[in-house]
A and B are shown apart, each in its own frame.
Chain A
Amino acid sequence: MKKRSISLLLTASMLLTAALTGPVTAYAEEHDPVTLTFWGWTASDFESKAIQNGLDEFQAMYPYITVEYMTVPSADYHTKLKTALASGSGPDVFYLDATQVNDFVSADLILDITDIAADFTATMTDASLQKVSMKGADGETHVYGLDICNVGPVIFYNKDLFEAAGVDPMPTKWDERWTWEEFVENMQKLTVKGDDGSTSQYGTCNWEEGYYLYVLQECLDLNGANWYNEDFTAAQNVDSEESKEVIENIKALRTEYGVAPDPNAAGSDTSNSPTAMFLTGQVASIAIGSYALQEIAQSGLNYGVGLFPTFGREGDEDAFMVSADMKAINKESEHPEEALLLAEYMSSPEFGIPIYQTGLWMPNQKSLYEEENISQWFNEEIYPEEWKDLIPIFLNAKDKPTDKLSHVTSINDAVDEEMQAFYYADQDADTTLQNIENRINEILG
């Protein structure tokens, strides 16, 4: 009797298992097993965890696909990726910084997904679509990747230090932005000097960050300084009065008004240094990409957010720029269909929302900016209340110029070298801007 019961129980459990796993097994059996490789740069713990969770979900949805996830240190990421792709050992799907799209397309390394991902790309914000696409030799716009995030230039500030200095919160509405003069005046109020004349607290920092990032490009556009021709094949008007005003104003923050500290170093990746100064209360505000919100939110600091000051140009509403990374597919992938499935999943709201909630990225799907959907990602513990004012600004943002250039690494290095000669040596503004124009044209030529 006992043996019979056990036998019945085993049979029942076997049937139940078969019933439950039947559809999945059948689904898996319809396809041959596929292994995809996915590369990303070394990310924060939050991002890494979100990526791993997303990959697990994806593999549960498509049991016949196995994804091997590999991270590469960000400093060498594009070099290793490009050489791996060129040698035929590259990943099927990979993160790609938007600035690299042009060069990777020129080297014929990325799959053109214009037609096959049309439904998906129709849902992306304009800036996001600009970022992943470029005009081909046929005059048509081609799409080379899918996108999940937007990052734009903002100023984070320490609310406690602002309050102690009697400075108003930074404006978050476009029409209410401070003028550059008001900004300087307020930063002066926030700069504290000790008895020995040394500065113990600075008003602001990070305005002299590298060209490929956010601050300089945003300020130039705010003042109407456009450095490139329409198709980004040549530099022009770099030495305009508008450009000169911007770079002189930025330098004066440190050298004339003393409201910004000397950066820890100029040339190496110093992004940690100003953030550390801001987080430890040595600086009251920081101009930086919105990605910094994630780290700032974890610090316990009483922080707020604001917009860059205006340079006084009328109609500068079009100046807000966003950028970030994208997912691209290896042109030589043996499994392009599955690779597209993975890229689409990793660019979907399901994948992105947990990361948006940490503050690292802003959404890139138009639907997530609709009033009824904002609550899905707007985490009130992370985003300060006034961030809601920035939502329409992010939605209507445009792409950065550096995302459209070819030979962008050489251009960045040349611009940074000249800017450093202006910021930290005695090269004047006119020579700097003229040199920049000549060097960019030499590189693009």
Chain B
Amino acid sequence: MKAKKLKKDGRWAILFLAPAIIGLAIFTLYPLIESLHISFTEWDLFSPKKFIGVNNYVKFFHDATGLKVFKNTIVFTLVVVPLQLVTTFFLAVALNQKIRGVRFFRGAYFLPTIASMVSISIVWQWLFNTDFGIINYVIKLLGGSAVNWLTNPKTSLWAIIIVSCWKGTGYHMMIFLAGLQSVPSTYYEAAELDGCTGFSRLIRIVLPLIKPTVLYSSITCVINSMQVFDQVMIITGGGPARSSSVMVQYLYENAFDYYKMGYASAIGWIMAIFIFVLSVIQFKAMDNSDFSIE
């Protein structure tokens, strides 16, 4: 009787899951497998695919432009991830206090997250203007000299980093805030009784308790950083001389400007593998971390 019911329930489960599974198969699994297949071919969309083995993968590691954009992406990720996670964590701690106007500040810091990347990129492009931008105006007021933010190869990637950190602050702050608010007040009270307060309490009590939140923020931040695209395309176009060009932009150019679908797919898979490895490292690091309440 029970087995019969389970069988009947199973049929219903399959029926209800079918739309999601079919959607996943058509729109995610198939493109994923097909892109892997394409990455082993030479294909321009118009001619038949030509199997070339791992040539596209080998080519990437011999492609000066490919290595340059790979390096830019790594630098971007190495700067943005720690900078964003540390600042947003302390921001969340500050905005978790019972201070006047806290709701306003939370809203204000979250505002860039919901603003369109295209709009803010255009605004920032003007803010960075060498002659007439506000940033250089302030620098000059403080006695400095104007910086060619977007036309100097040494500063263009930093301009993108600044915009990205500003844009991402609200999102990670909100995630940390949710994590902090889920910590029961009894932990704070117990810590206080043991004489653990202030910064020490933050590091020894709070941080270990919100470890899953930290892990989530860290992984999403790494993935988003590796996939940075919009602000690069709009603010610098990857220039000057590819100094701010990144992996996704190079992938896009190869696929849709140069019609090198095989090479673009290979770049996509190299990125995917790299992100996967970074995520595994983060999981392992978090498991082995001493983020535990002593």
Residues of chain A at the chain B interface (Cβ within 8 Å): 76, 79, 82-83, 86, 107-109, 196, 198-199, 261-269, 282, 407, 409-410, 413, 416-418, 420-421, 423-425, 427
Q: Does B242 contact A (CB under 8 A)?
A: yes
Does B257 contact A413, Cβ atoms closer than 8 Å?
A: yes
**29 A-B interface contacts by CB (under 8 A):** A79-B256, A79-B257, A82-B259, A86-B46, A108-B46, A196-B140, A198-B131, A261-B131, A262-B130, A262-B131, A263-B151, A264-B125, A265-B128, A265-B150, A265-B239, A266-B150, A266-B239, A267-B238, A267-B239, A267-B244, A268-B235, A269-B237, A410-B258, A416-B239, A417-B242, A418-B241, A424-B151, A424-B240, A425-B240
Bound complex: CA A420 to CA B236 (Å): 12
The proximity string for B residues 135-152 relative to A, scoring 1 for CB distances below 8 Å and 0 otherwise, is: 000001000001010111
Q: Does B234 contact A (CB under 8 A)?
A: yes
Does B46 contact A265, Cβ atoms closer than 8 Å?
A: no
B201 CB, min distance to chain A CBs, angstroms: 46
Does B130 contact A268, Cβ atoms closer than 8 Å?
A: no
Q: Does B129 contact A (CB under 8 A)?
A: yes
Q: Which of A198, A264, A269 contacts B150 (CB 8 A)?
A: A264
Chain B residue numbers with a CB within 8 Å of A409 are 257-258
Bound complex: CA A263 to CA B222 (Å): 32
Does A261 contact B130, Cβ atoms closer than 8 Å?
A: yes
A140 CB, min distance to chain B CBs, angstroms: 23
Q: Which of B126, B146, B241, B259 contacts A264 (CB 8 A)?
A: B126
Does B258 contact A423, Cβ atoms closer than 8 Å?
A: no
The proximity string for B residues 11-43 relative to A, scoring 1 for CB distances below 8 Å and 0 otherwise, is: 000000000000000000000000000000000
Chain B residue numbers with a CB within 8 Å of A86 are 45-46
Q: Which of B131, B146, B240, B256 contacts A266 (CB 8 A)?
A: B240
Chain B residue numbers with a CB within 8 Å of A420 are 153, 239-241
A425 CB, min distance to chain B CBs, angstroms: 5
A265 and B140 in contact (CB under 8 A), knowing A413-B257, A421-B240? no
Q: Does B253 contact A (CB under 8 A)?
A: yes
| Residue on B nearest A266 in the bound complex, by CB | B240
The proximity string for B residues 39-65 relative to A, scoring 1 for CB distances below 8 Å and 0 otherwise, is: 000001110000000000000000001
Q: Shortest 9 CB-CB distances between A and B: which pairs?
A: A267-B239, A267-B237, A268-B237, A420-B240, A421-B241, A266-B240, A265-B150, A262-B130, A420-B241
Q: Which of A265, A282, A413 contacts B235 (CB 8 A)?
A: A265
A423 and B240 in contact (CB under 8 A), knowing A264-B129, A268-B233? yes
Bound complex: CA A15 to CA B231 (Å): 65
Chain A residue numbers with a CB within 8 Å of B125 are 264-265, 268
A152 CB, min distance to chain B CBs, angstroms: 25
Does B257 contact A265, Cβ atoms closer than 8 Å?
A: no
Bound complex: CA A418 to CA B242 (Å): 9
Q: Does B132 contact A (CB under 8 A)?
A: yes
Q: Which of B44, B131, B236 contacts A265 (CB 8 A)?
A: B236
A235 CB, min distance to chain B CBs, angstroms: 18
A254 CB, min distance to chain B CBs, angstroms: 10
Bound complex: CA A196 to CA B128 (Å): 20
Residues of chain B at the chain A interface (Cβ within 8 Å): 44-46, 65, 125-126, 128-132, 140, 146, 148, 150-153, 233-244, 253, 256-259
B145 CB, min distance to chain A CBs, angstroms: 10
Does A425 contact B153, Cβ atoms closer than 8 Å?
A: yes
| Residue among A83, A86, A421, A424 having the largest count of chain B Cβ atoms under 10 Å | A424
Does B132 contact A265, Cβ atoms closer than 8 Å?
A: no
Bound complex: CA A76 to CA B253 (Å): 11
B266 CB, min distance to chain A CBs, angstroms: 17
Q: Which of B65, B148, B234 contacts A268 (CB 8 A)?
A: B234
Does A413 contact B253, Cβ atoms closer than 8 Å?
A: yes
Bound complex: CA A414 to CA B44 (Å): 19
Chain A residue numbers with a CB within 8 Å of B233 are 268
Bound complex: CA A410 to CA B126 (Å): 28
Q: Which of B46, B65, B253 contacts A107 (CB 8 A)?
A: B46
Does B240 contact A282, Cβ atoms closer than 8 Å?
A: no
Bound complex: CA A76 to CA B256 (Å): 9
| Residue on B nearest A202 in the bound complex, by CB | B131
Chain A residue numbers with a CB within 8 Å of B259 are 82
Given contacts A196-B140, A409-B257, A409-B258, 9 further A-B contacts (CB under 8 A): A83-B256, A261-B130, A261-B131, A265-B128, A266-B151, A266-B237, A267-B240, A417-B242, A421-B153
| Residue on B nearest A254 in the bound complex, by CB | B151
A198 and B241 in contact (CB under 8 A), knowing A107-B46, A262-B130, A424-B152? no
Chain B residue numbers with a CB within 8 Å of A76 are 256
Does A425 contact B239, Cβ atoms closer than 8 Å?
A: no
Does A266 contact B257, Cβ atoms closer than 8 Å?
A: no
| Residue on B nearest A196 in the bound complex, by CB | B140
A198 and B257 in contact (CB under 8 A), knowing A267-B237, A267-B240, A269-B237? no
| Residue among A86, A264, A265 having the largest count of chain B Cβ atoms under 10 Å | A265
Bound complex: CA A15 to CA B266 (Å): 71
| Residue on A nearest B152 in the bound complex, by CB | A424
| Residue on A nearest B131 in the bound complex, by CB | A261
Chain A residue numbers with a CB within 8 Å of B235 are 265, 268
Q: Which of A108, A109, A410 contacts B257 (CB 8 A)?
A: A410
Q: Which of A82, A199, A266, A410 contacts B45 (CB 8 A)?
A: A82
A104 CB, min distance to chain B CBs, angstroms: 10
Q: Which of A109, A262, A269 contacts B148 (CB 8 A)?
A: A262
Does A268 contact B131, Cβ atoms closer than 8 Å?
A: no
Chain B residue numbers with a CB within 8 Å of A410 are 257-258
| Residue on A nearest B255 in the bound complex, by CB | A79
| Residue among B131, B132, B239 having the largest count of chain A Cβ atoms under 10 Å | B239
A72 CB, min distance to chain B CBs, angstroms: 13
Bound complex: CA A107 to CA B47 (Å): 8
Does A417 contact B239, Cβ atoms closer than 8 Å?
A: yes
Bound complex: CA A268 to CA B126 (Å): 13
Bound complex: CA A262 to CA B129 (Å): 8
Bound complex: CA A422 to CA B154 (Å): 14
B72 CB, min distance to chain A CBs, angstroms: 13
B122 CB, min distance to chain A CBs, angstroms: 9
A358 CB, min distance to chain B CBs, angstroms: 26
A74 CB, min distance to chain B CBs, angstroms: 14
Chain B residue numbers with a CB within 8 Å of A261 are 130-131
B147 CB, min distance to chain A CBs, angstroms: 10
A268 and B239 in contact (CB under 8 A), knowing A409-B257, A413-B257? yes
A424 and B45 in contact (CB under 8 A), knowing A199-B131, A410-B258? no
Chain B residue numbers with a CB within 8 Å of A79 are 256-257
Bound complex: CA A265 to CA B127 (Å): 12
